[in-house]
Structure formats: structure tokens, C-alpha cells
Amino acid sequence: MKNTKKVSELSRENTVRFMPPPVSWFQQPAGFVPARGSVTYPEGFLSSGISAGLKKKGLPDVALLVSEKSAVAAGCFTTNAVKAAPVVVCRRHLANPIHAVLMNAKCANSYTGKEGIEDALGLLSDLASFFGLHRKNFMVASTGVIGERLPVAKIRSSLSGLVMHLSHQDTQAARAIMTTDTVEKTAACRMKISGREVRIGAMAKGAGMIAPRMATMLAFATTDAVIRRPLLQKALDEAVGLSFNRITVDGDTSTNDTILCLANGTAGNREITAGSPGYRIFLRALTWVCQQLAWKVVSDGEGVTKVFEVVVEGAASRQDAVKAGRAVACSPLVKTAVFGEDLNWGRIVNAAGYSGAAFDPSRLDLWIGDVNLLRKGRLARDRLAAADRIIRKPFFSVRIGLNNGKETDRVLTTDFSYDYVRINADYRS
């Protein structure tokens, strides 16, 4: 057998998560500066994370994110027809001024009917009482097992501790929302808008059930920028389109996928308006932050040993480029071949062929890294050895030239390993 890897070699300590991300994947900094931080990096935000007894060993499993001033909120949510109770609640509350977000791991509160919605709203009512506000000014997010009711009593008993431990320097919130994640995922940056420093901070969780249809499981971004909700939503939609909607680990879209972005205006900048230089900088910065988190989600994917980028060029339309890229990126046959370091290039061509993208197979080009393996449909056999060396790397690119137009798109994906099966075979137990 070509694949000589053993299960014992595939511990979660042996993933690619510590590898520097590929420059090609990111919006390059222009007008903003990357920084170290999380959701409390912008002014006026606090967070906390403690144990409510949902996870084993006393690990943090509930988290709270608070804006000292009421914030405007934008959100992107799962496209799954089965939407978890917290997604339903967030969509209802999105247009309201938002003061805080309550989060929990271990229980998704999904497919729990009206009782699940009542559980979520009840906890928000309890939380709102600590601040003298109404539950409509709060949001909730959950992740974990589908089909189980929230452990309301445990979470309710943790609320006072969450409020008590709120801090501008909190490091536990990002850990509290982790499930099969092995590392917390955060990103931050700063910029100048109308002479004032504006900051963006974010955190995310996600390692499995990641597919390119608004998929991260959970992500939260904060900013102290002055910006109105409709424009914030526009910016988030664009940023998500170039980040979370261009990744896949296993092709499964969660019932709980939620990205929230809160803006509290504490920076005091002149209001960001559509088409202004400030908006262009803000959009670039928000996109970069989302791409940082998306990279961390993929590289910490369940059982992942390799990350590869599928770039489709020369498509007749952007839709065709996306179709072909996603088909290759989601193909179990491609992903297992990458894991086994088996240069089975025919599986890539096959996936592009059934994607629905329009192209003439006799004109297809294929690169593995910088090795042009297929040119106008003809295999360069003398380059097989060079391409074989490339797929042994922890990160590489697959570039497909359809030669049927001028559109390009890209998807970031992973291999499928033995460990992915092991992790998901006993996830519930």
C-alpha cells in the first residue's frame, strides 16, 4: 500500500494548525494593522468564560460577551433547513440594540422544538435581569450535540459567575466555546478612520461539521467603530463570502452556524458610510479577521493532516468557478487521496466534471503547486514525480484552468484521515 501512515501517527497533536497560513488566502493589510487580541480588543467590550459542569474536568463551557454600550448587530446564519433554537432567537433579536451574547458548548439546543426556544429565551430573561434590561437586547449561541434539551439549571446557576468574571483581558471565552477544537481561535486588528483608532476583535470555534454554506459553527466579531446596522450587515456579508463561505472540512453544514458582529461606536470616529475611504478600510480589515479565523478553523479540522487550496481559473462565471472548486474540495475521494499522499489526479478531474461547471475536458489545465500536470487535457508524465513531492507537504495548492472564461474563485479544504472517522464515530458518547 502506498499509504504508510498509521493511526497512532495521527494524534491531534500532529495536525497542520501551527503552520503559517498561506499569503494567497488573505486580504493583505492595507490601511490596517494586525494585532494580538480577541473579542475584548475593541474598546467597550468585556467577556468571561467559566465552567457550568457541561464539559468534563471542569473545563470552561459557558461564555458571555458584553458591550458596555448597546451595540448594533449584524449576523449570518446557517442555510440548513433545520435551524437550532439559538439561531431562531438571534434572527428575531438582530434588529434590536444588543448588550450581550450568552454562549454554551456541549449542547446545541437544536431540533428541540418550541421548548428549546423557550429554554433559550428563559435564560436570556435571567441574564437580562442582571443588567436591568429586556431579553430582546441579548443573543444566545450554542454548540454541541443535536437533539438534547439545554441543561438550563446548570447554565442558569453559572450566570452570576459569568457576570462576576467579566473582564477586558479575558482569555477564557474562546476556550469555553470549543468542542473538538484543540486550540482557541482569535484574531484582531486596528486602523485609523477619520483620525480615530478603530479596532476589530474576533473569536471562533469549529473543527467539524464545516461546509461552505455559512459554516463556522460559531464566530463572534466586535468593533468599536461608529457604523449603522445595514452597512455593518453589508460588510459582514462580504467578509463572510470571502472567508467562511470558502472553506470546507467535511461537507456538513451545521444547524447552529452563527456569525455575529457587534459595533458599539466607542471609538468615536466619524460615521462610516457606504463607499467612503473609511468603509473600504473597515471592510478590508473585517475580511482579514474573518479569513484568519477561517484558516484556523480549517487547519484545526477534525483529524486534519493537510490543508490544500483549490483555485479554479478561466471559468465562464463566478458560479461555475465556485461549483468546480467546491466539488473538488468536498470530494471524499480527493480528500482521502490527499491524506494518503496518492497523486490520483483523475479524481480531481472527475470532481470538476460532475460539478456542473461548463468546460471542455480537452482544454483542461491542472497544476499541483507550481507543476503543470495537465495542459489542454494532456498529461505531462515527466512531471508526475515533481507533483508527487508537492502533495506530501502540509499545505499546497490545486489549480484548475477551465479555459472557458475569465472568472476565478478558490476554496480552502482539508484531507480526510483515520482520525476524522475516529473522532466522529463516538462524538456523542
User: Which residue numbers are catalytic?
Assistant: 216
- Cα–Cα dist 422/9, whole Å: 13
How many Å apart are CA 138 and CA 98, to the nearest integer? 6
The helix/strand/coil state of 222 is strand
Under a CB-based contact definition with an 8 Å cutoff, are residues 312 and 265 in contact? no
Question: CA 403, CA 123: separation in Å to the nearest integer?
Answer: 55
Residue 108 sits at φ, ψ, to 5 deg, of -80, -15
With contact defined as beta carbons under 8 Å apart, do 71 and 97 qualify? Answer: yes
| C-alpha closest to that of 263 among 101, 72, 47, 96 | 72
- State in Å, rounded, how far the first CA of the chain is from the last one: 33
With a CB cutoff of 8 Å and minimum separation 6, the contacts of 129 are: none
Q: What is the DSSP string of 228-266?
A: -HHHHHHHHHHHHHTTGGGB-SSSPPPS--EEEEEE--T
Q: How far is CA 396 from CA 19, 21, 306, 338, in A?
A: 12, 11, 8, 10
DSSP designation for 32 = E
Q: What CA–CA distance (Å, rounded) separates 347 from 290? A: 30
DSSP structure string for 285-346: HHHHHHHHHHHHHHHT-TT---EEEEEEEEESSHHHHHHHHHHHHH-HHHHHHHHTT---HH
Burial string for 131-144 (b: 16+ CB within 10 Å, else e) reads eebebbbbbbbbbb
Instruction: Give the CA distances from residue 89 to residues 123, 224, 253, 256, in Å, rounded to whole numbers and listed in that order.
Output: 12, 24, 19, 11
